[in-house]
A and B are shown apart, each in its own frame.
Chain A
Amino acid sequence: MQIPYNEELRPDTGLYNAKLGIWIFLASEIMLFGGLFSAYIMLRVGAPVWPPLGTAQLNIPMATFNTVVLITSSVTMVMAWASLKMNNFGKFKMYMGLTLLFSAMFLVVKYFEYSAKLSHGFTPAHDTFLAIYYTMTGLHVIHIIGGMIVNGYLWMPGSKMWESNPVRFTNRIEVAGLYWHFVDLVWIFLFPSLYLL
């Protein structure tokens, strides 16, 4: 039994199945982070002063650096997909490796940020600002790790599919890329709302 439109595009929608699937999934992700952003707004509007007195100062230079790292990883992700489109598997390997490297770099910076806060007693229970900060960035970090697992699979063991079914493998990279850009985009919203405003 063969499910139609796994590789070829359905003529009237112009999509293959997984591409529509990932867009629907991202819609639900937007609602997930949307729920958290509205929680953030409601807590902030309800607070007498924001950020609460005595709370931690977030490290803006580190976060700015991380923003650049994450945007770069999105660029290399697109390059990985484009390399496959141009039939250059070697370049795909390189760009996908770079994407993973940049994602790891993001996590390392985040680790230093978290540990600096926690070592000074600024835990999530300290106040609502830190609570929402840890929750939102923590969920974002979980998304990064999830993306890294998928990308790592597609980089190493999963890339065998390039030989057996190159069209479908290229589609997989495109779908993983769409997810990765979304994770990037969430950070683009998190950075100003938590660090700058």
Chain B
Amino acid sequence: MSSQDHHEESFISKYIFSQDHKWIGIQYGITSLLFLLFGFALMMVMRWQLAYPDTVIPLVGWMFEDGMLSPDMYNSFGAMHGTIMIFLGVVPMVVGAFGNYLVPLQIGAPDMAFPKLNMASYWAYFIGGVVMFASFFMEGGAAASGWTMYPPLSVIAENGETVWLVGMIFLITSSLLGSMNIIVTIVQLRAEGLTWGRLPFFVWAQFVTSFLLVLAFPPLEAAGILQLMDRLVGTSFFLPSGLVVGGEVLNVSGGGSPLLWQHLFWFLAHPEVYVLVLPAMGVVAEIIANNTRKPLWGYNSLVFAVVWLGFMSFIVWAHHMFLTGMGQGMSVFFQTTTMIISIPSVIILSALFITLWGGKIRFNTPMLFALAFLPMFGIGGLTGLPLGLAPTDIHLHDTYYVIGHFHYVVAPGTIFAIFAGIYFWFPKITGKKLNEGLGKIHFFFSLIFINGVFMPMFIQGLAGVSRRLADGGVSYAHAAGVLQWNEFMSMSAWLLGLAQIPFIINFFMTIFKKVDGVADPNPWQSTTMEWTNTTSPPLGHGNFETAPVVHRGPYEYSIEGASEDFIPQTQK
């Protein structure tokens, strides 16, 4: 079966409505990078308001009334920053881009199981993104009730909220189609000899992540439908009886429950955290094994831990709700499960740390990002423990401490893993490695400034400064002692923005760089199939010249008696 039978494809079917998983992965990657940049830009504007409340914003002030970010706009920016970063940035990047591009290659498949569905999932995501983006220009502005959209506030909010819900339905549909596809691909299209025990850890991480998406997103879809009914048809799913708005009792039937939304929302949104983190762990594991030239330590424990993590993530959701008065019994249950779920996370992190021991580490840019992931994610994880225990959470809930905690998990955690992955797999897509010098500048400045942004949040949070305050806490006496950090954090955020410029230059410079000769298909001397069984990039539709046959595990590095320090999975 030849997989390289080229027939002429039109520009549109090749580049726009492509059914090739590699190109769809690239489409996902480019779109989500743009959304990540946009979400970050929103935050850089918000940080001006926090550092210098009610002063004219430089550079972009002309876009706003009076040149300042009004409290309403601040709310809107905050809600959309969260929504964009999570649903339009990180998830499409780690699942849509990395999952699409790499899973079929790593399991030796010619494409995803359902190429047309794959295309549909990208375009559903794209429409969802356009809808979300367009809501900024609507009358009343974008949704402003926080990324969690808690009712009753969200139900009585302006029209932006309706648009948010419609956008979410597109994004949920996209995720469902994409993750179904990944599951079927992994189960059905593994190459001959690629048993479950020989799957690269990245594929395992994608497999568990896809199950989380398939099973956790529909309850949010249900909740979204209920909230749309509340907003458009006038039902009262989330509106209690006798709700007073602006001094008047709201004219609805009542009898609903705001807590219902929170349960349905967090039933999605907690597994969602693991959707953000597990693929990142997969990326980091691949890069660490490759650059320590050692097999991953404890492959079986890693796999068990990731499956266990996926399962447990469905029964911890209400630890976001300790302060809602849902009852002590519930709190005890959910804080217990929360403590249990930290065990597999620690297993994964420990196994990756132990892998470093005695390795011949190559400190290239992808490896630096992957190495930084470990302590940064560690900080994020450990600072989560006080939030998972109800008594300490009473003090810390809704403060900047929470913001610091989950940003450590997602920003220097997942986003560093994304950068590691981009630097690592860039030569697979283009045939050219990104420039190491610019890469290291990008890495070291990012590492310094990202800590400058998020570390002081723990200090402010412990002092009791609430999040989502448009003035950064100026109007609260108890915040006075820690307010000086606002300026420091904002400076760090803008410098972090500047630190991304070397990456952007590097990205385009490398793409347009002319290189003579045929590119090395395996520049990192890796063992897995995406490197060892393919021709030089760009790969044709169908990936492999002949269907690969797997003979060994994914991480056979530095095996005694071998001619090189790595043995490809497909070598006999």
**A residues adjacent to B (C-beta < 8 A):** 1-5, 10, 13, 15-18, 20-21, 24-25, 27-29, 31-36, 38-39, 42-43, 46-47, 52, 123-128, 131-132, 134-135, 139
The reply to whether A24 and B214 contact each other, CB–CB distance below 8 Å, is: yes
B260 at the interface (CB under 8 A from A): yes
The reply to whether A35 and B236 contact each other, CB–CB distance below 8 Å, is: no
The reply to whether A128 and B189 contact each other, CB–CB distance below 8 Å, is: no
**B residues adjacent to A (C-beta < 8 A):** 1, 3, 5, 110-111, 113-115, 176, 180-181, 183-184, 187-189, 214-223, 225-226, 229, 233-237, 252-253, 255-257, 259-260, 263-264, 267, 541-542
Q: Which chain A positions have C-beta within 8 A of B220?
A: 35
| B256 to A, closest residue via Cβ | A128
Q: Which chain A positions have C-beta within 8 A of B5?
A: 1
| A36 to B, closest residue via Cβ | B222
The listed residue (B113, B176, B255, B264) touching A128 by CB distance below 8 A is B255
Do most interface residues of chain A lie in helix, strand or loop, or is the interface mixed? helix
Given contacts A13-B188, A27-B214, A32-B222, 19 further A-B contacts (CB under 8 A): A1-B111, A2-B1, A3-B111, A3-B189, A4-B189, A16-B188, A17-B114, A17-B184, A17-B188, A28-B176, A28-B218, A31-B215, A31-B218, A33-B222, A35-B264, A42-B260, A46-B257, A128-B255, A131-B233
The reply to whether A135 and B235 contact each other, CB–CB distance below 8 Å, is: yes
The 6 A-B pairs of least Cβ separation, nearest first, read A35-B222, A35-B219, A125-B234, A32-B218, A131-B235, A31-B218
Q: In whole angstroms, how far apart are the Cα atoms of A47 and B255 in the complex?
A: 7
| B20 to A, closest residue via Cβ | A1
Q: In whole angstroms, how far apart are the Cα atoms of A127 and B239 in the complex?
A: 11
Whether A39 touches B115, Cβ cut-off 8 Å, given contacts A5-B188, A29-B218, A127-B255, is no
Q: Which chain A positions have C-beta within 8 A of B252?
A: 125
Q: In whole angstroms, how far apart are the Cα atoms of A16 and B263 in the complex?
A: 37
The reply to whether A28 and B263 contact each other, CB–CB distance below 8 Å, is: no
The listed residue (A32, A42, A126) touching B219 by CB distance below 8 A is A32
Distance (Å) between the CB of B318 and the closest chain A CB? 13
Q: Which chain B positions have C-beta within 8 A of A27?
A: 214-215
Do most interface residues of chain B lie in helix, strand or loop, or is the interface mixed? helix
The reply to whether A25 and B180 contact each other, CB–CB distance below 8 Å, is: yes
Q: In whole angstroms, how far apart are the Cα atoms of A191 and B65 in the complex?
A: 54
The listed residue (A17, A39, A126, A134) touching B253 by CB distance below 8 A is A126
The reply to whether A124 and B234 contact each other, CB–CB distance below 8 Å, is: yes
Q: In whole angstroms, how far apart are the Cα atoms of A51 and B1 in the complex?
A: 63
Q: Which chain B positions have C-beta within 8 A of A123?
A: 233-234
Q: Which chain A positions have C-beta within 8 A of B215?
A: 27-28, 31
16 sampled A-B residue pairs with Cβ under 8 A: A3-B113, A20-B183, A20-B188, A35-B219, A42-B259, A43-B257, A123-B234, A125-B234, A125-B252, A125-B253, A127-B236, A128-B237, A131-B235, A131-B237, A135-B229, A139-B225
The listed residue (B229, B259, B267, B541) touching A131 by CB distance below 8 A is B229
Q: Which chain B positions have C-beta within 8 A of A128?
A: 235-237, 253, 255-256
The reply to whether A2 and B110 contact each other, CB–CB distance below 8 Å, is: yes
Distance (Å) between the CB of A126 and the closest chain B CB? 6
Q: In whole angstroms, how far apart are the Cα atoms of A28 and B268 in the complex?
A: 12
Most buried by A among B3, B184, B216: B184
Q: Which chain B positions have C-beta within 8 A of A32?
A: 218-219, 221-222
